[in-house]
């Protein structure tokens, strides 16, 4: 078991990078899952509003009262320079000036020039307040047009607009598939990036060292046959790969607040297949004599590139057709297709799911075959 022991001795010097990726990923996943609470009620946003009433009529005071019931009114002096300072220092979100003649204009049906405003350009608060004011004026005018006096119209408008509407939230425990919620699907969605990063930064680096000429020549000079050495390397690599996958799956049980059930097992199988793909990528890259800094750059290029193109970091529904066409030639694309189906973003179809996973397995097989071809070619060149 000499080569087997050498593998884990080298791994001791390389496991830190893998551990960092796993710990950070699990910490973020656990924090999100444990702190997530579904919204139970809707609460309308409230702004800090300053009002200058130049009309000083019952109608303008009714508007001020209405705004005060929806927002926080800040008292100010009749000084426009002070208003700009308050906006600059964010003491208020919006300054409303009710112009003189507001009451008469509202009674006659005019809607232009009723107000003046001080605001931060194109801010949310300005758009929000304008919508509130337009809604109030239009509702009041509708009651005036129906024959009510202005006082009655303003009272009715305020009552209608301040009426709370009960909003019910519908939560889906399983979006399209049993035992696999959308929140839990997020844990599996980001897993490919972690698997690729862990395998390239640790397994790939270890295999590169173990298969280096210095160690390989020593092995060839020993009584250990190349075949047995290969079997030991394969056994050690398999233990490491399975251990990483089992750690992630165990964390999934904790995040899910219970053991896997229903179609969540498909997600487990899908992750196992992609773990093999990540290992195959690492093994393939390790066959080339690359510098350590080049390998580190490749880890980021492959991990981040596949994550952005295939829909790991950006949902596939947001990606253009050209990007998705290119992503079809990458294994993570099919992994995300399967995960999206399990999360209910696509209608569940067992046969389609099987096709997605078989395509992933095909990528793994091709990568292993390419690795064998490259190694055979290198071996022939070294003996020539």
Q: Residues 298, 304, 305, 308: what is their CA dihedral angle, to the nearest 10 degrees?
A: 180
Using an 8 Å Cβ cutoff, are 275 and 237 in contact?
A: no
**Helix 150-161 with 124-145: angle, nearest 10 deg:** 130
Q: What is the pLDDT of residue 168?
A: 55
DSSP 134-184: HHHHHHHHHHHHTT--HHHHHHHHHHHHT----------SSSSSTT--HHH
Q: What is the pLDDT of residue 274?
A: 92
d(CA 26, CA 187): 9
How are beta strands 48-53 and 72-74 bridged, if at all? parallel
Nearest in space to 185 (alpha carbons), one of 29, 306, 309, 39: 29
CA angle 294, 296, 300 (to 5 degrees): 115
Reduced to 3 states (helix: H, G, I; strand: E, B; else coil), residue 377 is helix
Nearest in space to 193 (alpha carbons), one of 336, 84, 316, 378: 336
In 197-324, which ranges are E strands? none
pLDDT, one tens digit per residue, over 44-102 is 677 888 888 888 899 889 998 998 888 888 877 666 677 777 777 777 888 888 888 88
Q: What is the pLDDT of residue 273?
A: 93
pLDDT, one tens digit per residue, over 238-251 is 888 898 899 889 88
Cβ-count burial 227-258 (b if 16+ within 10 Å, e if not): eebeebbeebbeebbeebbeebbebbeebbee
Q: What is the pLDDT of residue 175?
A: 44
d(CA 94, CA 115): 12
Q: What is the pLDDT of residue 382?
A: 56
Tokens coding 117: 């405003």
Exposed / middle / buried, residue 361 (Cβ in 10 Å: 0-12, 13-18, 19+): middle
d(CA 144, CA 304): 61
Using an 8 Å Cβ cutoff, are 279 and 242 in contact?
A: no
Q: What is the pLDDT of residue 222?
A: 61
In 176-318, which ranges are E strands? none
d(CA 279, CA 225): 25
Residue spans of the chain under pLDDT 50:
36-42, 171-176
Domains of the chain listed by start with CATH number: 2-37+175-383 (no CATH), 48-161 (3.40.1710.10)
Work out the widest C-alpha separation in the chain, in whole angstroms.
Answer: 106
Q: What is the pLDDT of residue 270?
A: 92
Exposed / middle / buried, residue 155 (Cβ in 10 Å: 0-12, 13-18, 19+): middle
d(CA 72, CA 300): 49
**Helix 182-189 with 191-198: angle, nearest 10 deg:** 20
Element (H, E) at 50: strand 48-53
Q: What is the pLDDT of residue 288?
A: 79
Residues 6 or more apart from 311 whose CB is under 8 A from it?
319, 327, 332, 333, 336, 340
d(CA 282, CA 141): 70
Give backbone dihedrals phi and psi of 119, rounded to 5 degrees, phi first. -160, 165
The pLDDT mean for the chain works out to 80
Tokens coding 295: 């390998």
- Write down the pTM of the prediction: 0.62
**Helix 331-342 with 191-198: angle, nearest 10 deg:** 140
Q: What is the pLDDT of residue 42?
A: 47
What's the chain's length in residues?
384
């Amino acid at each position: 078991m000499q080569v087997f022991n050498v593998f884990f001795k080298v791994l001791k010097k390389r496991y830190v990078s893998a551990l960092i990726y796993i710990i950070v990923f699990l910490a973020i996943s656990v924090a999100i899952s444990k702190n997530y609470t579904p919204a139970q009620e809707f609460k309308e946003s409230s702004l800090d509003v300053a009002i200058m009433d130049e009309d000083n009529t019952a109608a303008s005071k009714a508007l001020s009262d209405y705004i005060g019931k929806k927002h926080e009114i800040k008292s100010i002096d009749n000084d426009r320079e002070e208003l700009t300072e308050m906006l600059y220092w964010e003491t208020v979100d919006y300054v409303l000036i009710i112009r003189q003649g507001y009451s008469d204009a509202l009674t006659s049906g005019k809607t232009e020039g009723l107000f003046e405003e001080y605001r931060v350009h194109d801010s949310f608060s300005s758009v929000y307040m304008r919508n509130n004011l337009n809604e109030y004026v239009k509702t009041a005018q509708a009651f005036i047009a129906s024959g009510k006096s202005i006082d009655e119209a303003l009272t009715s408008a305020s009552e209608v607009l301040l009426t709370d509407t009960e909003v019910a939230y519908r939560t889906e425990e399983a979006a399209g598939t049993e035992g696999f919620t959308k929140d839990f699907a997020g844990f599996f969605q980001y897993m490919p990036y972690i698997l690729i990063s862990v395998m390239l930064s640790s397994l790939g680096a270890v295999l590169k060292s173990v298969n280096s000429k210095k160690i390989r020549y020593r092995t060839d000079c020993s009584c250990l046959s190349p075949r047995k050495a290969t079997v030991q390397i394969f056994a050690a690599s398999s233990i490491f790969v399975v251990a990483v996958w089992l750690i992630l799956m165990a964390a999934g049980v904790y995040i899910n607040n219970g053991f896997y059930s229903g179609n969540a097992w498909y997600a487990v199988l899908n992750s196992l297949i992609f773990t093999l793909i990540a290992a195959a990528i690492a093994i393939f890259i390790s066959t080339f004599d690359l510098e350590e800094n080049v390998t580190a750059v490749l880890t980021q290029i492959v991990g981040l590139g596949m994550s952005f193109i295939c829909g790991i970091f950006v949902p596939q529904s947001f990606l253009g057709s050209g990007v998705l066409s290119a992503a079809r030639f990458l294994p993570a694309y099919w992994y995300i297709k399967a995960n999206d189906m399990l999360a209910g973003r696509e209608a569940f179809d067992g046969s389609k799911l099987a096709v997605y996973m078989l395509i992933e397995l095909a990528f793994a097989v091709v990568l292993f075959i390419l690795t064998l071809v490259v190694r055979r070619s290198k071996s022939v060149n070294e003996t020539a």
